[in-house]
Structures are given as C-alpha cells and as structure tokens.
Structure 1
Amino acid sequence: MMIPIPSILISLGGKCLLNWTLVFIQRNYICQSFLGVFSVSLSVIDTALTLSVTTFHLHTDGYVILLGLKLTTFHVCLLVQIFGQIYNALQLPVVVLAGLDHFCTLTQCLQFTIAGVRMFFILSVTGFLWYLTALYVFLLSDFNPVLEEVSYNQIHQCWILRTSYTLQVALLLLLSLGYAALHAGCSTQLWKDQNTVQSRTLSRKNVVYQTLHVFLNTWALFLFFLAAFLLLPVGIPAYLAMNVIWLSFLN
C-alpha cells in the first residue's frame, strides 16, 4: 500500500512517544524480564529509525552523505521497508523467547543465578536476536524491496508492506488463553473428600473469573482496535506491527 512520507513520519513519531511513555511507566521493573529489555531495545531502534527518516526527508539538498554514500528520499522507503520486514520476522521468535522466560520464572529454574549474570544473559539474547533476524531478512528470506519508478505526484510516497504475523500471533495467544481458562475452570482432580473437591473447584473458577475480568478491563480497548485494524482492508503497516504496547500485551 502507498503511504505518504509525512504520514510515515507522524506514525513513527507517535509510535516512539508511546514506546517511551510505556517504558517510563514501567521503569522500576521493565528490565527484569526478556520482554522488558526487548521493549527498551525496540524503543531505541524506533527512535533511530524515526530520526534517520526525518533527516533524509527534510534535508534541504534532497540528499544526505553518510559514510560516503549518497542517501536520497528513495532510501527512506527502503529503510522503512527493511525495518518493517525485520519487525515481521521478529514476531514469532519474541513470542517463543518470552514464553521460555516466563517458564523459567514460574519454575524458578534460574533462581540461583546472580541478578547481574541474568541481566547480561538477557541483554546478550536480545542483541543476538536482532542480529540473527537482520541476517535472516537480508540473506535467507524472500524479501524484495519495492523501489519502482513512480510519477512526480507519487515521489513523496512509499510502498509499505502490511504485517502478516500480528493476526496469527494474536489468535495463537487468545486460543492459548481460552484453553487455559477452560482447563482451569473445568478440570478437577479425584479426591476422596467431596467437600474438598467442591471447594477446590469453586476456588479455581473464582481465580479464572477474576483473571478474565482483569484481563478484559485492561485490554478490551486494545483488542477492539486490534480487531478493527486487522479486519480493515488497509491493514497494519509492517513498521508499526512491533511496538511496546504489543509487547506488553504479549507479556
């Protein structure tokens, strides 16, 4: 889909503002998990992308010389397409690593690990993930940037890829949550004491209802907007698919 470059700049600026706002709100505990550290790294990269695109687009000479390379407005579209593809490719690995991180937290398999060592490990995994994803996009994926010759009226527009993984990840998460709620609400264990079975069943159902109530109160609006964007024919641009509010939802 064709999007004007000023619209790209505005959306990137709004995304950066939202990212850093959520990072600041969660500053006391955001670096205690993989998703928190990844959120900070995503905010930094989004800020660098926004500043780069703004510089290339607003430079009065029409181009910028960087490391001996002449970068023009066409490179704005290329840069946004590349990062959009990287964000698309990051969706599933981030979900898997976040699940492993939560599993280790719940099972306390790393309870004897020193906090500094654990933080270094999370930082290393985050940096290595960005590096591997970039290599995958450039060397192994079928990504072909769209840099067609356009008319003068479209010279300040970019062809932007739509996200293809957000809907899949959202459906996977909602199905997992639904299965967990159904399992917690319906499964019972055989106990000799009937009163114990009833009390355990009621307690489990109360926990399920309270969890669903808190979840819907927190994320109902986000789910509504997510469903609206995914059902609209326009779709979500790939460079907006990965953001801190989405990572908070994954968390």
Structure 2
Amino acid sequence: MNISIPSILLGLGGKCLFNWTLVFFQRNHICKSFLGVFSVSLAVVDTTLTLSVTTLHIHADGYILLLGSKLTMYHVCLLVQILGQVYSALQWPLVVLAGLDHFCTVTRRLQPTTARARWIVCLFVTGLLWFLTALYVFLLSDFIPVLEDVSYNQIHQCWVFHTSQNLQVAMLLLLTLGCVTLHAGWSTQLLKNPPLKDQITDRSRTHSRGSVVHQTVTMFLSTWALFLFFLAVLLLLPVGIPAYLGLNIAWLCFLNSLLIAVILCAVCPASQQAQGLAAVPPDSFCEWRL
C-alpha cells in the first residue's frame, strides 16, 4: 500500500508522542521487567526514525550529506520499510521472552538478587534481541525493498508493508486464556458432587484455583474490553496495520497484561497468592489483587 510521506510523518509523530506519554505514565516501574526495558528502547528507536525521516523530508535540496554519503527520499522509504520488517519480526520473540520473564517472576525462579542486576540483564537481552532481529531481516528473511523508479526529488509516497502478527499473537494468547478458563470451570463442576474424605483437599484446591482464574479473567477483561473490541474490528475489516505502526508501547502494555493473566491462570495456585509467595509482574493498567 502506498502512503504519502507527510502521512507517514504524522503517524510516526503521533506514535512517538503516545509512546513517551506511556513511558512517563509507567516511569516508577517500567525498568523492572524485560517488557518495560524493551518499551523504552522502542520509544528511542521510534524517535530516532521520526527525526531522521523528518530531516530528510524537510531539507530544501531533497537530500543531505552524512559522512560522505548522500541520503535522499529513497532512504526515507527504505528506513520505514526496514524498521517495519524488524518490528514485525520482533513480535513472536517478544512474546516468548516476556512470557519467560513473567513466569520466572511469578514462580520466583532465576531472579537476580538486586534490582540493578535485573535491569542489566534486561538491558543486555533487549540489545541482543534488536541485534539478532536486524540480522535476521537482512540475512535470512525474504525481505525485498520496494522503491519507485523515479528521481529522488519526485518521490512523494512510499510503499508500506502490512503486518498481521499483532492479531495472530492476540488470538493465540486469548485462545490459551479461554482454554485455561474453560478447564478450570469444568474441573470445578466435576467436584460439585458430595466428596469423599480423601477428595476434600483436592476439591478445595480446585475450587480455589477456579476462583483465581475467574478473578484474573474478570480483572483483565474489565480493563482491556475496549482494546479487545478494537482488535476485533481490525480482524473483521479488510484493512491492514502498517508495519511501522504495528509495534508500539500501547500494544506492549496490552501484551504485558495478557501474558500476566495467562501465567497466573496457568501456573499460580491460589494458595501462593493467599500466602504472598507469588510475585506479580509490574502492570500499570490492571491491579492484580486476588
């Protein structure tokens, strides 16, 4: 899909403003998790991209010289397409790494001894993830830039790739959350009959687990119902998300809450919550009080 360069600049500018607003809103704990550290790095990368594209676009001659290289409007489209592909390729690795981070937090496994050590580990993993994803896009993927066959001073729009990874990730995690909820409800229904003496403990545990799952899903849906409606509309409409807008901090905040809900439902017994043995990852939108 062809999008005019001013529209691309407007979208990137709005995305940067929204990104930094959410970073400021979560400033007290955003660097306490891998997803938070990655969110800050994403805001920095988006800002750098926006400033670079804006500088090239507003230059009177249509090009600038940087370290002896001539940068033109071709590079505007090239930057947008490359970053769009990198953002698309980051979606699934982010889900895996953030899920592992939240799992370790909830179960208190492999946790660094200090907050500073945790921040350093998250920063290292974030930098490594950016580097490996860029290598994948340039060396292993089938990415081919699409550029107009005209002079650089006649380029007024860029070809932009679409992304569907957001919807795929959301659908998979929501299906997982739904399956866990149905399993918990089904297990609770099976134990409604009068129990034997040796079944009392199992029945109590199952009932408590079902209660945790119910509360977790209720808190998640009450917070993100409007965002889920927006995702459903995107799924039904034949309109794609531009790849350079697909990865943003609002999406990462939703992903953070959804991963926490899935992990709490799947691996965290109610007894741990009651005894305070399970830590909940930081979340600025949902208050996980079970």
1:11 aligns with 2:11: yes
Percent identical: 71
Q: Which residue of 2 aligns with 1:219?
A: 224
Distance 2:87 2:226 in 1: 23
Alignment of 1:145-164 (within 5 A): 145-149=145-149, 155-164=155-164
Cα 1:171/1:201, change in 2 over 3 Å:
same
Aligned-partner SS, 1:3:
strand
Aligned residues: 250
Cα 1:123/1:171, change in 2 over 3 Å:
same
**Residue pair 1:2, 1:157 contacting (<8 A) in 2 also:** yes
Alignment of 1:104-143 (within 5 A): 104-111=104-111, 113-143=113-143
| Structure 2 residue runs without a partner (length 5+) | 257-290
**Residue pair 2:112, 2:118 contacting (<8 A) in 1 also:** no
1:26 aligns with 2:26: yes
Distance 1:212 1:78 in 2: 42
Q: Which residue of 1 aligns with 2:287?
A: none
Distance 2:109 2:214 in 1: 29
> 1:104 deviation in Å?
1.0
Q: Which residue of 2 aligns with 1:192?
A: 197
Distance 2:95 2:253 in 1: 12
Equivalent in 198, 221, 239 of residue 244 of structure 2: 239
> 1:181 deviation in Å?
1.5
Distance 1:239 1:89 in 2: 11
Cα 1:85/1:111, change in 2 over 3 Å:
closer
> 1:200 deviation in Å?
4.9
> 1:185 deviation in Å?
2.5
**Residue pair 1:230, 1:236 contacting (<8 A) in 2 also:** no
Instruction: Return the structure number with greater relative CO, CA threshold 8 A, min gap 6.
Output: 1
Larger deviation: 25-34 or 181-190? 181-190
Distance 1:208 1:109 in 2: 22
> 1:208 deviation in Å?
2.9
> 1:73 deviation in Å?
1.3
| Structure 1 residue runs without a partner (length 5+) | none
